[in-house]
Structure 1
Amino acid sequence: MATVTSPRASSEPHGPDPRVLHPLQRLRSTIRSYVAAEGLAVLALYVALWFWIGLVIDYGFFKAFAVDWVQELPWEVRAVLFSGLLAGLVALVAVKVLFRLFREFRDSALALVLERRFPDVLGDRLITAVELADPRLAERYNFSQAMIQKTIRDAAERVEGLPLDGVFDWRRLRRAGLAVAALTLGLYLVVGLAYCAWYQATVADFFFRFSNVTTIWLERNVLLANTLWPRQAYLELVGFPESGELRIGRDAPPPTLRVRALKWVVADAAAPEGWRALRWSDLTPDLVGLPINPEAVPREWHDWPLDQIEQQRDQDQTLDADRKLAILDLLTHLEERAASPRLARKLRRLTIPDIVEVSYRGETTRSEQTLQKRAGHEYSGALSDLKESVRFTVRGEDYYTAARRITLVPPPSLVELSRDEYQPAYIYHRVPREGGPQDLKGRKQERMNIPVSLNGTTSLFDVPAGTDVMLHARTDKPLLPAPHGVRLLTNDAAAQVLPVPVTQDDEHTFQVRFPAVTAPLDFVLEFIDTDQVIGRRHVVIKPIEDTPPDVDALIEVVRKTQQGYLVSVSARIPLSGKIRDDHGLDGIEYHYTLTPLEAQAGLGIAAVTSGLRFSPIEPAADLLARTYAILIGRLVRALGDDTKAPERLPLDTFARRLREKERDQVPLAV
């Protein structure tokens, strides 16, 4: 009788045989190593091509055309180019290395790789051994466990002896390595041999110079520093704004450019282009290669550039011979040090160019101009005929400055001008009834906020003489703060500064005060905005003198003689006419002068005596004649006194005294 026995659970461990898994693990490790090596080779090729191509484009273009793209292109453009190259490198590493290196390699996939590489040896045993290694899986599909175990043992025996290195194409990896060596060490040797043969230089000289070039290239193209390629000359603009833009008025005189050439320069990372003038204080034993004697130059020279010390050595007659010799020895030693390629990135001795040119261009204009060479390695020249804003560079030898800009802007102008007048009070007010003219002395009548015309080129207005004037002005552009924002100049070729205080309330308004204007003021208001652009306004203040009243009076009836008007004491003198005054009349006074008339007085006495003598003889008439004679004699003696000045009397006082004289019957000569 047949019986059915239940299958026993296998006591053998589940999973593939270790002899099968070990070759697969070795294959997995070798694959990762191969991928890493290939990725490094691709990375090295990319970097090598980047360096050599970039060096040819950057340094080669500079040597061929003397154009440095660090000076030509904005930093942002260089940053975008570097970001693109870096992104390409990252993408290449990700695709060629990272994605492949960290990919999961399953045992079944590795088994298929080996079976395809060694079909005659493995057949399909390895993939069967890997996939059916689990007894529970074989039991599920009713596979013979004995047959499966035999297949696994057979596959393990066959795979142990396989040469796993044969799976990989090692020749491709070797070719990549050779390409890396050719693009790095090979090109380096080729460039070195060519340099040494062309310049008759030593290997050490090439090594240091190429190292300097490589370092500069990395600073420029990787660190994005503004390091320039080494030049034969170095120029710096003197007195030009650090912002790189000079703003001038459209009608201003042409700007003058001043350029200084440097002979000795030292590396300085803080300098805009990595180099600056070498000073005496920069000299150290490490840089110079010998001890520095601080007494070799006067103490006040320690902060001077070495160029200035070299020039002053030949010009200063007070410098003793020992110091001159010490400076000469130092300069000679520095020349030797500067010629060494080891110090090429620290110290340089440059050429002073014979010709320095400035090139500028605008939207519609383009021109070049040679600057005039002056003392102290300086060059200067005025940029005439500037009709528009321009960009310019200054070139000497193979060096040219970074592009600067000259911008033409409208000068500041006055948009509002007014004045406050403090005029003499007597023009508007009468003398107090109980006082005198001194009561109005020093007092002023205020007239505020009177507009001043800005039409034309000159602002002209009149004020009464003795008026205090306060000018108030407002500009259309912000001005420099006091005392540099506004000043007054004479209206002549000298344009001297007038000592007149100016008050600025804010950056747009200012005031100028002129006390007691008695003489014409002809001046120019000069105001400077924050762009250093100058605006001007011609102002004339003309004082008007208080002229005497214009009297057109006529003495009627009385006949005028050579001696004047002769009237008797009892006569009434009629006057008529007109009196005019520019500010009106406070009162009218009559002034008279008594003129000595001795001859006429004598004749008068004789005539009176004669007349009375022939008149009827009466005691009263004789007494009257004697009285007239006495009074006329007194009057003659009084008028004959030269020390007595003429008397000025008001009209009412004169009338009162005249009536008194009529009562006294004293004749007068007016």
Structure 2
Amino acid sequence: MAVETPINERIKASADPRVLHPLDQLRGTIRRFVLLDGLLAAGLLLVVWFWAGLVFDFGLFRLTGFDWVQDAPAALRAVALVVMLGLLVLVVVTRVLTRVRREFSYPSLALVLEKRFPRLLGDRLITAVELADVNRAAKLGYSAEMIRLTIDEAREAVAQVPVATVFNWWRLRSKAILIGGIVFGAVIVSYLLFALLARTFAPGEFAWRFGDVLSIYTERTLLLKNVPWPRRAHLELVAFPGDDLRVGKEAPPPKIRARAFQYVVAEPVTADRRTGWRPFLWSDLASHSEIYAPRKETPLTVTLNHEEDWRAKDVARAAVVGGPGFPAEKPVSTEIVALNDLAVDEVAERFAPSHPEIAEVLAQLDEVAARPSMSRTFRKLDLPDTVRLYYTGRASGTGPAARFQGRTRGDIPLTREPTGEYVAEVTGLKESVSFTVRAADFRTSAKDITLVPAPALTKLSHLDYQPAYLFHPAPEEAVKPGPDGKRPPPSWTALKGLRQAMPEKDLSLTGEKSVCTVPAGTELVLTAVADKPLKAARLIPKSGRIPGSPKGATAAVPIAPDGDQIVIRFEGEYRVAESVEFDLEFSDPDDVKSTRSVLIQAVEDLTPQVEVAVDILRKVGNSYYCTPRARVPFVKESIIRDDTGLSRVEFQFTVSRVEAQAVVGLQLQALASIWAAAPLVPNIGSVVLPPTGVSLASQLSKGEAKQFAAMPVTAFERAYDALVKDTPSVLRDKLGRPPANPDATDTVKEVKFTNEADVFDLADADALLEAQGKRMLVADSGEIQPRFRVELSVVARDVNIETGPKEARNLDPIRLLVVSEADLLAEITKDEEILIGKFDAALKNLREAEAMLADQTARLAPSTVAPDVLLSARVKADSIIMEVGKAREFTQVVATEYGRLKRETEVNRCNESVPRRYDSAIIKPLEAVLANQFKAAEDGLTGFRDPLGDDRRPDDAAIATARVRLTALISELTRIRAGLGEALSESKLRDELRKIIDNQTLVTRALKRIYDGIQISLFAPTIKPVPPVMLAQGEKKTVKHVIDWNVFDKGEIKVRVEPQAGSEIQGPGELTVKDDKNDFEYEITAGKKAGEFTVKLTPTVGEPVIVKIVVK
């Protein structure tokens, strides 16, 4: 409100009111004009600001997708609003309040009117106002009458003045028109742009759309609401954990999943959901009546058929057609799916094509979404063609506060999968990043991918419980010795299932995988310790069986960690029976995962190794000759070993009798004579001779059955007896404590034949055979020693009682040909003949040396010898020494070979006179000659040769010494040779005579055996075989045999029927068959046991017959 100035108060007190009234009216008009002008200016500012802001805000969003409500700090909008309000206030204050409150004096107002109406007012109005106080003017010298006259004229003139026309009101109207024009023009331009972009001139739709834009802009700008501009697309991140995805630095690249939605509904903007829209759920159909008013019952579930989700009418049609796999053949299994938990987009994608009721709901929603009035409530958007992920690095920190500080920047396209999701892997990250996923003008809220150190293992250890048999022998039991005074074999089964605790060991964490090697059958506890607390862990099998997983399964098995520890127990049925490889995957509370490959190698208990070879015995062909009492030695390098331990090592052998060469020759002669005597013209011989020949051939070729026996290897028995055996209680105590030295086990892992007693003693073997009723060694000295073939194997068995012991034997059996002592000595005599030849060669060399020495002695007889003679003598002296050296080598060979022959006779336990003769008559004399006479002769010859090397004649003493010593050597060897020849001749003659006698005896016995066999075969009846008999379980059947009586004349025979043991087959036991019938029959009954079995028919005369029985 204006305040009256002193001049106005003075003038108002003295002036004529009729003069001042127009002035007061002018003052009010001025104030109205100024107020209207200021308001129009403020309105113009508001309009320009509104439309410019709208163009900047909405236009910038439509062109670039930048929405400053979401993408700019909230303070920016507040600052912008404050600035605009400040400008508005400034305009109002400067253009309205200041002017309205300004005081206008009456003289100023009078001058305004005089200037506006000069012709009408002249200067009378200002005079009337300033000289309104006539008395005061009179005192100043003015004429009072004149002043009054002027005032009257001014009063009359002012009454005619149109005060309202003083101002330029068009100026105000033009501003108003400008404001209206801006508003109208902006609306028209907006409409034209809408029509151009929408390709439609629908004013009603434009009105709704434009109204929505204005209302949103007003809410955003004036009310500072966080209302975003409506987008053309809508994306939601799938399975993203909050605002921050924490991944390991060395982990596989994170995979970002997003889903685009068409049907969206408006929702209040919150800090968590800033878009103002969310996917429209099927459950929203019931709660949003303004969007969906059901015309019929809304489906809440969908029934899926397992036949590719056919529509109901298709299923019905298929049932009628009844094709393969259709409901006519088998019912279609169904599954009910609830829809309320699904978004409308998911329902539309999965079920709309095959469910018409869902398609009707979607059509109704499409109608609602097409209404302009629903644009701020419910919309149907387009699916984007492209979706990209934009990321930028964060230097430090987490969350939005640290966003956009790093150097990493990039964008990745997302690929649409058949499920409707868009997927991309963010690869190559070196630092933490923030990212948004964009499609069209939509941008998700910024999320973070934080790289954190993956959890790492600081320790990986294993605690083993290995099979007890690897460390301990069978426990000592209080078992009484048997009748033979020997304890029964150790009970290794007492260790079955027992395990030895082992010290805990750490596994290496370097390299691609950690490898743990344990024996098969080990129970193992694997403990992993991480550098941080763990949230989850699981085992991913690669090979073998892991705890908690069926055999052959490939699915991962979860394991609950205990803080920073993971314990994996391979116990019970999950013990390490074979190699196991798996990945140990573990994650921290941020779900950052790490993986460590672990390989548990199961070391199989290997088969024992048997490497033995016979020593000393002579080998003829593929057999070793030995006597029935021989002690078969083995070479010192023979060894039997096992990686874990041996439970038994024994000699296993089979013995079969073989005919002497004379008997074999007799057999061949007999066969040849039979076929040579065949008659050319058919006669009685044509009938008798063939069966007789066949019978004779079978008798000649029939050999005795092999006998089997086994006996322990003393070297193993000795090693095992040296082990410390514990009682069961002490053993259990040891099993619970890890051994101080796990490598020092109480097992026999190696057996060597280093002792003289480590032999295969045929005398002991013969004792075992005697228990079976047969022997190799004849007891009567007058009897002929038969020949036997012994196939010997050294068999070793390990102690693997968990999965079954493994057995091994020498690669090829050792074949022993057991002959008489005479036969063996005859073979040895052949060797002696060869050795005598070498001995004679040695004597020959010595005699040649003696002759050369005599010749050179004669040439050196003169006291003075020519140089050429000395040179020749020196060469001959070297030759003489060389010949003596050859003789020494031959002699050494003879001595060594006789030592071998002596050893051979000793191990064969020949007559003691034979090795004694070798020792006293040959070996010791030869050793004495080698040590004495040969050395003396060589020294004498050296004394003879050395002077010749200096071109000097040897003195007579040296010459004489050389000749005497060489002669003495020859004499001694000649003496030994003479005794050797006589002994050899006697031995050879004796052996030949003995061999002739033995052969004749064997031939006689063979002929008698052949005669007896032929007689039996001609007179014994023959039971003919039958085809296999097929029976069901519990079935009874009669079996019939044909019998050929030949020339049997005893009246009857008995036949014993013996079913196989354990077959449950029942038979008659024994039958009596009379010779007046050519067949016989009997009944057999099958049991409840299926399989193939045999029934043996054994007659009292003749050969047994085997009948095959098959029970189904």
Query: TM-score, normalization: structure 1?
Result: 0.60
The aligned residue for residue 216 of structure 1 is 216
CA deviation after TM superposition for structure 1 residue 400, in Å: 3.6
1:293 aligns with 2:336: no
Between the aligned partners of 2:713 and 2:236, the Cα distance in structure 1 is 91
Q: Which amino acid aligns with 1:474?
A: D
Between the aligned partners of 1:387 and 1:272, the Cα distance in structure 2 is 30
1:379 aligns with 2:418: no
8 Å CA contact 2:540–2:583 kept in 1: the answer is yes
Between the aligned partners of 2:423 and 2:744, the Cα distance in structure 1 is 67
The aligned residue for residue 411 of structure 1 is 453
Give the one of 486, 489, 497 matched to 2:539: 489
Seen in structure 2, the aligned counterparts of structure 1 residues 305 and 16 have a Cα distance that, compared at 3 Å, is farther
The aligned residue for residue 108 of structure 2 is 113
State how 1:465-484 maps to structure 2 within 5 Å.
472-475=529-532
Between the aligned partners of 2:411 and 2:183, the Cα distance in structure 1 is 45
Q: Which amino acid aligns with 1:277?
A: P
The aligned residue for residue 337 of structure 1 is 368
State how 1:64-103 maps to structure 2 within 5 Å.
64=63, 72-101=71-100, 103=101
Between the aligned partners of 1:565 and 1:59, the Cα distance in structure 2 is 103
Unaligned runs of 5+ in 1: 1-11, 427-437, 546-559, 567-572, 590-594, 604-670
CA deviation after TM superposition for structure 1 residue 179, in Å: 1.4
Q: Which amino acid aligns with 2:537?
A: R
Between the aligned partners of 1:313 and 1:207, the Cα distance in structure 2 is 37
Seen in structure 2, the aligned counterparts of structure 1 residues 330 and 253 have a Cα distance that, compared at 3 Å, is same
Seen in structure 2, the aligned counterparts of structure 1 residues 597 and 16 have a Cα distance that, compared at 3 Å, is farther
Between the aligned partners of 2:768 and 2:207, the Cα distance in structure 1 is 129
Between the aligned partners of 2:507 and 2:766, the Cα distance in structure 1 is 64
With a CA cutoff of 8 Å and minimum separation of 6, indicate the structure with the bigger relative contact order.
Answer: 1
1:532 aligns with 2:591: yes
Aligned residue pair count? 527
The aligned residue for residue 253 of structure 1 is 252
State how 1:338-357 maps to structure 2 within 5 Å.
338-353=369-384, 355-357=385-387
Between the aligned partners of 1:211 and 1:561, the Cα distance in structure 2 is 118
> In percent, how many aligned pairs have the same letter?
28
Between the aligned partners of 2:60 and 2:178, the Cα distance in structure 1 is 26
CA deviation after TM superposition for structure 1 residue 350, in Å: 2.6
State how 1:232-271 maps to structure 2 within 5 Å.
232-243=232-243, 245-270=244-269, 271=273
8 Å CA contact 1:389–1:405 kept in 2: the answer is no
CA RMSD of aligned residues (A): 5.8
1:344-402 alpha-carbon deviations (Å, 9 max, x no partner): 2222223334x333253554664543513414x43334444555655655455x34433
Between the aligned partners of 1:176 and 1:203, the Cα distance in structure 2 is 28
Seen in structure 2, the aligned counterparts of structure 1 residues 152 and 171 have a Cα distance that, compared at 3 Å, is farther
Give the one of 443, 461, 484 matched to 1:401: 443
CA deviation after TM superposition for structure 1 residue 116, in Å: 2.9
Q: Which amino acid aligns with 2:113?
A: F
Between the aligned partners of 2:741 and 2:196, the Cα distance in structure 1 is 101
8 Å CA contact 2:460–2:528 kept in 1: the answer is yes
Seen in structure 2, the aligned counterparts of structure 1 residues 147 and 466 have a Cα distance that, compared at 3 Å, is farther
Higher alpha-carbon deviation: 329-338 or 290-299 = 290-299
CA deviation after TM superposition for structure 1 residue 290, in Å: 4.6
1:48 is paired with a residue whose SS is helix
Seen in structure 2, the aligned counterparts of structure 1 residues 348 and 252 have a Cα distance that, compared at 3 Å, is same
The aligned residue for residue 285 of structure 2 is 283
The aligned residue for residue 185 of structure 1 is 184
Between the aligned partners of 2:282 and 2:38, the Cα distance in structure 1 is 53
8 Å CA contact 2:417–2:423 kept in 1: the answer is yes
The aligned residue for residue 552 of structure 1 is none
Seen in structure 2, the aligned counterparts of structure 1 residues 577 and 179 have a Cα distance that, compared at 3 Å, is closer
Seen in structure 2, the aligned counterparts of structure 1 residues 332 and 526 have a Cα distance that, compared at 3 Å, is closer
Give the one of 286, 311, 318 matched to 2:349: 311
Unaligned runs of 5+ in 2: 1-9, 115-122, 303-337, 393-406, 469-494, 544-552, 605-630, 634-710, 726-738, 749-760, 771-1112
1:563-611 alpha-carbon deviations (Å, 9 max, x no partner): 8899xxxxxx9x999999825999999xxxxx997976999xxxxxxxx
Between the aligned partners of 1:201 and 1:537, the Cα distance in structure 2 is 67
Q: Which amino acid aligns with 2:539?
A: L
Q: Which amino acid aligns with 2:343?
A: P
Q: Which amino acid aligns with 1:378?
A: E
1:371 is paired with a residue whose SS is strand
CA deviation after TM superposition for structure 1 residue 42, in Å: 1.7
CA deviation after TM superposition for structure 1 residue 208, in Å: 2.0
CA deviation after TM superposition for structure 1 residue 54, in Å: 2.5
Q: Which amino acid aligns with 1:348?
A: R
1:188-211 alpha-carbon deviations (Å, 9 max, x no partner): 245446756884524323322221
CA deviation after TM superposition for structure 1 residue 50, in Å: 1.9
Give the one of 122, 125, 135 matched to 1:122: 125
1:36-60 alpha-carbon deviations (Å, 9 max, x no partner): 3222212221221122223333333
8 Å CA contact 1:474–1:510 kept in 2: the answer is no
CA deviation after TM superposition for structure 1 residue 277, in Å: 2.0
Between the aligned partners of 1:226 and 1:340, the Cα distance in structure 2 is 25
CA deviation after TM superposition for structure 1 residue 113, in Å: 2.8
1:59-108 alpha-carbon deviations (Å, 9 max, x no partner): 3344455665556545444444444334333333333334444x3x44xx
8 Å CA contact 1:43–1:89 kept in 2: the answer is yes
The aligned residue for residue 203 of structure 1 is 203
8 Å CA contact 2:266–2:277 kept in 1: the answer is yes
CA deviation after TM superposition for structure 1 residue 114, in Å: 0.5
8 Å CA contact 1:288–1:333 kept in 2: the answer is no
8 Å CA contact 1:501–1:513 kept in 2: the answer is no
1:246-298 alpha-carbon deviations (Å, 9 max, x no partner): 34333322333333232322222345312222233333685357544344443
8 Å CA contact 1:360–1:366 kept in 2: the answer is yes
Q: Which amino acid aligns with 2:455?
A: S
Q: Which amino acid aligns with 2:536?
A: V
1:477-520 alpha-carbon deviations (Å, 9 max, x no partner): xx67xxxx13142464998544544222xxxx456475979759
8 Å CA contact 2:541–2:556 kept in 1: the answer is no
